[in-house]
Structures are given as structure tokens and as C-alpha cells.
A and B are shown apart, each in its own frame.
Chain A
């Protein structure tokens, strides 16, 4: 099963390289992402029925948490591939894209999917390789237009994330060393489940140092402050569908890595140490996003800083701990993964039609592009944590966990930051969506972009109104894995 799941995007990527026409490319793209989505869902079902999957000398590994990430990646990947057809089609019609670049785009897009799926279904060492692979595949995607600013953003992204990932490798080696010491030379199994089962015998001092390196390393990739500096640049300079993938899923992949190592660290060191670190980094991320969101002039950067904020909330949620905190953080991963791409899709349509990234130059989107405008407005409400959307519930769970565990000061701070961000963010979005429309702009970009947005909107709204039984079970299973 996993083999096919990994093969599908890879084959799609390769066949994109050899196809000739635009129509052909779009068809392969759609076919590939549908196959990936179906295989991803099939993996979810099979892991739930038959339990953990370990194959291939325990290089390939999947448990409930893996499938949770696979679900997020394949869902958002599918929506983005649908959106790409509309977005890139528009670019082709207006000559800012040629067939050569389009081919490269679709190929790299599916390779990117492959690398992120790999993050979910591999062991402690493979995880590092997979995360580094995501950087290597996405850097060329950022410089697709080879503008001056995007070259700079890609360089910053590549350098900062490579350094970060080097730290993570150091942390990984230390953790591996701790495990090898416990196994004492016998042929060791390094999949997550066997590691967690012996994690209480790890050397606590070693694990503390390893966790710091991991948190800084993968935290760089997850966009936790103060290592987040590459994120606004990369996310705003990348082509918009890529921004959606970067924000919606790639950050979650890095967060997944942190949470995995968290489960290995806690048994030997106790929760105090890891919690205080996660809460500190998380709060700093949310706090740093506040001024940048309030004073922002560029709406793609606005969305990027909002991602920094939400990654911070997830880190804080894990830090608060308990069933409520962890499940809140996990639910937040899912909610953010649905809502942020929705916002980027809307922003992408606006960029195509208005030709600018400045907030002040855009007005009246609701009138000139009714569906995009409505989605932007609703998405803006959803992402800032207004009921009845999904993010409200997960933020509420995290805050409740904070209060019930007695972290009053940090919870109040978090609540304050969230309220300030709501004010800043929503005033920007409402200014763009409402006010007097631009007479030069009329009509939507394409039907494909609408389909993609509506698809994500369904999830955003659904998760706010009620959490499906299956997802709820799934999250509980993941929480079980994480304890």
C-alpha cells in the first residue's frame, strides 16, 4: 500500500516531464493527485483496520499519526493540484508562463508531494532525509518565475533551512545514539513504535540536548520564531499554489517531526522540560506575528505571518499537553491545513486579476469577483478563530488546556495575541474584500480555482459545526500514540 502511495506522485512527476501539451499535463496532474488521494485514504483505512505497518527493513513505517499527516498532505495536495490547473492556465493564457516551465512546475509539484508523503511514512533517520528532500524540491519551485526577489527568497530559504536541518541531524544522531546504547549492539529496530517503547531508558541529559537541537532544527523549518525569518519571504515570493502547499502542509510536516521527537524525549526527561521549551517558542512565534500582521502592506506576507502564528499555537498546544492540549494541537494542524490554502487560493486569484500584492491597491473583491471575495472574507473569519469555523474550536481547546493545567499567564498572553491578530488581520481582509470595487476587474479566474476553494471551504465549515466521528477517533488514536 505505502509503496504505491509513494510511487503514484513520483510516476506522475516523471510523466509530467515527458508530456508535450498543456492539456495533457493538466490531465496527468489531475489523474496523479486523485490517485495519491485515493491511495492515501486507503492507507488511512488499512492502518485503522490492521494497525501499524512496518516493512522494508523498518524504513517504511506507518501508524495512526503517520496516516494523519498522509491524510492532510494528500487532501491539500489534491485541492492544490485542482487549483493549479486554473491558476497556471490563466498564467499560460496571459503569457507569463511557458510550456517548459509548466512542465517543470507540475513535475516538481508532484515530487514535492512525494517528499512530504515520505515524511509521514518513514523512521527516525528517514525522516531527516525526507525533510531535507522537501527543501531541495521546493526551492526550485520558489524561483519558477526567476524574479530578482524570488531568487533572493529561495537563497534565504535554502541556506537557513539547510542550516536548521543540519542542527536537526545532530539532534537525530544524538537520539539514535541514545537508542543504540539501550539496544546494546543487538540488531536495533529504529521505527517510531519500537523507539517509543524503550524511550524511558534513554539517557535524559543526552535527550535534553538532542531535543534542543531538534526543536531549533525542525523548528526552523516549521517557522517557529526566532528562526522564522525565511518564511515570509519564501511564502510570498513562491507561485501562489506553491505558497499554499508550503504554508498548509510543509509546515505541518516539520511540526510532525517535532512532535515525534517530543514523544521520544518525554519518557526520560519528564514533561516539564519539553513543555516549557515548546510553550516559550510557540508564544514567541505568536507574539512576533502580531506587529507584522497589524502593520502589513503585502497580503501574501500577511498570510505568511499568520502561518507563523498558527504554528506557534500548535507548539503551545503540545506544550500545554494533556489530552485536551494535544488533541487541540492536532485538530489545529488539520484546520490550519484546510484554511490557509483556501486563503492563498483566494489571494492567488486576486493577484492574477489585480496584478499587485499590496493590500492598499486591492478593493471590492466581493463585488468584482463574488465567489473569491466571499471565500476570502469567510476564510479571513475562519483563520482568525471566529466561530462557527474549525479553527475556533481547536484554538478553544488549546486555551482550555492551558487554563486547566494552570498555565494562566501564558494562556492569557496567547489569548491577547490571538485577539490582537484577529483585529489586525480582519481589518486588512475586510478592506480588500469590501469597499468600492475596481472597475477594471471583472469575473473569476477559472472554474477550477472555484472548485478547489469550495472543496476546502466544505472542510473548514464542517469542522466548525461538528467533528466527524472518524476524524475524532483518528485524533484520539494519535493522542494514544503520543502518550
Chain B
């Protein structure tokens, strides 16, 4: 069963494209571009879930694919655009580390995660390929959160981490039980909403969403 879907070159190229989209987020100077890169990534994830569903013939994975499409590729990007517009955020990404060194560090992170996964995985070629991509996405997500100033970019970092995990989960175990998946989607959606509300609050009380201005609680 696993051989059929992960042996396909289609799967391999989609995973490669997901990696590319991660680097698009990492390398883009405009907020909108990074949001659309994230949207593109979620779309690809939905495709992967769709392929897995097709080759296993399990209905619950079809539902997962559908939920990914609706929540991650449509609702959450829409929420981002809404926040950016409503708060009149400056369109450029502000960062502590410039674009080109960040891309370089991203590359290093990818190499590290491939190395790590190779050392643990006893699984087929492609599944470990997906797993290392997923680990790289988690690491790059964290890196994004550390190096970006705006609260909204940090939110994007978390979502990229979560996308990475989704990829890992679906390629390792062909999806988790449906109820769990629905729960995770619910948590992600509510989490994003609450973060959005908090960003509005931060904007109102601090008159900025640069997180390096949040310094009331220093010891």
C-alpha cells in the first residue's frame, strides 16, 4: 500500500514544491507575498492529502484534505489579509537577520534535518523524504518566529511549523483518526483567531505590532 503512493514521482515533486514554498516565505520581503506563499503551501498539502486518500481509498482522509483546503488554504490566509488591511500594517517584512543570510541558514536547517531523519528512519525512501521535509519546515518555522519583528509574521511561523507537522503525520501514518484531525484543525483555527484578536489588542495598547516593543515585563 505505501509503495503505490509514495513511489510516485508526483508525490516527490509536490513535496519538493512544498519546500520551495517554505523558502518563498523565508525569502520574501513583502508580507502579502509570504501570505500567498503560505496559501500555496497549504494548497499543496491538501493535494498530498488528496493523493493519499485516493490511493488508500479512505474517506476520512478525503475529509482531511477538504478541511485543509478550506481552513488552511482559504480561511487562514483570508484572516491574514484582513488583519494586514485593518491594521494598516507596513507592507514590508521587518527582520533582525537579512534575507540572504536567512536563506542560507534555512538551507543549513534543511541539511541538518535530512541528516537527522536519515539516521533514525528505517522506512522507505520517500516517506523519510517527507519526514525530513517536515522537520525542516518545523525548524524554519521557528527560525522565522525568532527573526521576524512583527507579531503577524510570528503567527505565520507557527502556521508553517504546523503545516510541516501535518506533512509528517500524513506521510508517516497516513493520517490520524478523523476525530483527532478535526480536533487539531479546530485548535489551529481557534488559535489563529485568538492570535488575530491579540494582535488587534497589541496594536491598540502599544500602537505597534513590533514585538520588540513589548518590553513592559522585563526583569
The one of B138, B180, B198 in contact with A126, judged by C-beta atoms closer than 8 angstroms, is: B180
Contacts of A154 in B (CB 8 A): 198, 201
B176 within 8 A of A: yes
Q: Report the Cα distance A136→B198, complex, angstroms.
A: 11
> Considering only CB atoms, which chain A residue lies closest to B213 in the complex?
A152
Contacts of A133 in B (CB 8 A): 187
B103 within 8 A of A: no
Known: A125-B176, A143-B201, A170-B168. A163 touches B187 (CB 8 A): no
B191 A162 Cβ-Cβ under 8 A: yes
Contacts of B165 in A (CB 8 A): 166, 169-170, 173
A435 within 8 A of B: no
B216 A152 Cβ-Cβ under 8 A: yes
B211 A146 Cβ-Cβ under 8 A: no
Known: A151-B205, A155-B202, A155-B214. A136 touches B177 (CB 8 A): no
The one of B120, B154, B177, B187 in contact with A209, judged by C-beta atoms closer than 8 angstroms, is: B120
> Considering only CB atoms, which chain B residue lies closest to A301 in the complex?
B219
Q: Report the Cα distance A153→B214, complex, angstroms.
A: 9
> Considering only CB atoms, which chain B residue lies closest to A152 in the complex?
B214
Q: How many residues of A contact B (CB 8 A)?
A: 45
B177 A125 Cβ-Cβ under 8 A: yes
Contacts of B135 in A (CB 8 A): 170
Q: Mark B108-133, 1 if CB is under 8 A from A, else 0.
A: 00000000000010100000000000
Chain A, 167-226, CB within 8 A of any chain B CB: 167, 169-170, 173-174, 176-177, 180, 190, 203, 205-206, 209
A143 B184 Cβ-Cβ under 8 A: no
A462 within 8 A of B: no
B168 A173 Cβ-Cβ under 8 A: yes
Q: Mark A109-152, 1 if CB is under 8 A from B, else 0.
A: 00000000000000001101100110110011001001111011
A206 B120 Cβ-Cβ under 8 A: yes
A440 within 8 A of B: no
Main secondary structure of the interface of B (DSSP, over half): helix
The one of B122, B138, B158 in contact with A159, judged by C-beta atoms closer than 8 angstroms, is: B158
Contacts of A237 in B (CB 8 A): 217
A283 within 8 A of B: no
Known: A126-B180, A166-B138. A155 touches B172 (CB 8 A): no
B145 A173 Cβ-Cβ under 8 A: no
A158 B120 Cβ-Cβ under 8 A: no
> In the complex, what's the smallest C-beta–C-beta distance from B138 to chain A, in angstroms?
6
Known: A146-B201, A176-B173. A166 touches B158 (CB 8 A): yes
> Considering only CB atoms, which chain B residue lies closest to A236 in the complex?
B217
The one of B138, B151, B180, B202 in contact with A170, judged by C-beta atoms closer than 8 angstroms, is: B138
Q: Report the Cα distance A126→B178, complex, angstroms.
A: 11
B162 A166 Cβ-Cβ under 8 A: yes
> In the complex, what's the smallest C-beta–C-beta distance from B131 to chain A, in angstroms?
9
Main secondary structure of the interface of A (DSSP, over half): helix
Known: A148-B216, A177-B172. A155 touches B180 (CB 8 A): no
A59 B179 Cβ-Cβ under 8 A: yes
**Best-buried of A140, A143, A158, A159 by chain B (most CB within 10 Å):** A159
Known: A169-B165, A206-B120. A136 touches B173 (CB 8 A): no
Contacts of B145 in A (CB 8 A): 159, 163
Q: Report the Cα distance A163→B186, complex, angstroms.
A: 17
A156 B214 Cβ-Cβ under 8 A: yes
Contacts of A146 in B (CB 8 A): 201, 205
Q: Report the Cα distance A154→B135, complex, angstroms.
A: 28
The one of B177, B187, B202, B214 in contact with A132, judged by C-beta atoms closer than 8 angstroms, is: B187
A63 within 8 A of B: no
Contacts of A167 in B (CB 8 A): 138
Contacts of A59 in B (CB 8 A): 179
A50 within 8 A of B: no
Q: Report the Cα distance A132→B154, complex, angstroms.
A: 18
B190 A136 Cβ-Cβ under 8 A: yes
Q: Report the Cα distance A169→B197, complex, angstroms.
A: 24
Contacts of A203 in B (CB 8 A): 122
A129 B184 Cβ-Cβ under 8 A: yes
Q: Mark B194-210, 1 if CB is under 8 A from A, else 0.
A: 11011001100110000
A57 within 8 A of B: yes
> Considering only CB atoms, which chain A residue lies closest to B180 in the complex?
A125
Q: Report the Cα distance A190→B202, complex, angstroms.
A: 41
**Best-buried of A154, A156, A169, A209 by chain B (most CB within 10 Å):** A169
> In the complex, what's the smallest C-beta–C-beta distance from A158 to chain B, in angstroms?
6
A26 within 8 A of B: no
With A129-B183, A133-B187 given, name 6 new contacts (CB 8 A). Answer: A153-B217, A163-B142, A163-B158, A166-B165, A169-B162, A292-B219
**CB-defined A-B contacts under 8 Å, sample of 5:** A151-B198, A158-B195, A166-B138, A173-B165, A209-B120
Interface residues of A (CB under 8 A from B): 57, 59, 125-126, 128-129, 132-133, 135-136, 139-140, 143, 146-149, 151-156, 158-159, 162-163, 166-167, 169-170, 173-174, 176-177, 180, 190, 203, 205-206, 209, 232-233, 237, 292
Interface residues of B (CB under 8 A from A): 120, 122, 135, 138, 141-142, 145, 151, 154, 158, 161-162, 165, 168-169, 172-173, 176-177, 179-180, 183-184, 186-187, 190-191, 194-195, 197-198, 201-202, 205-206, 211, 214, 216-217, 219
Counting from the closest, the 6 A-B pairs by CB-CB distance are A129-B183, A125-B180, A132-B187, A152-B214, A149-B216, A177-B172
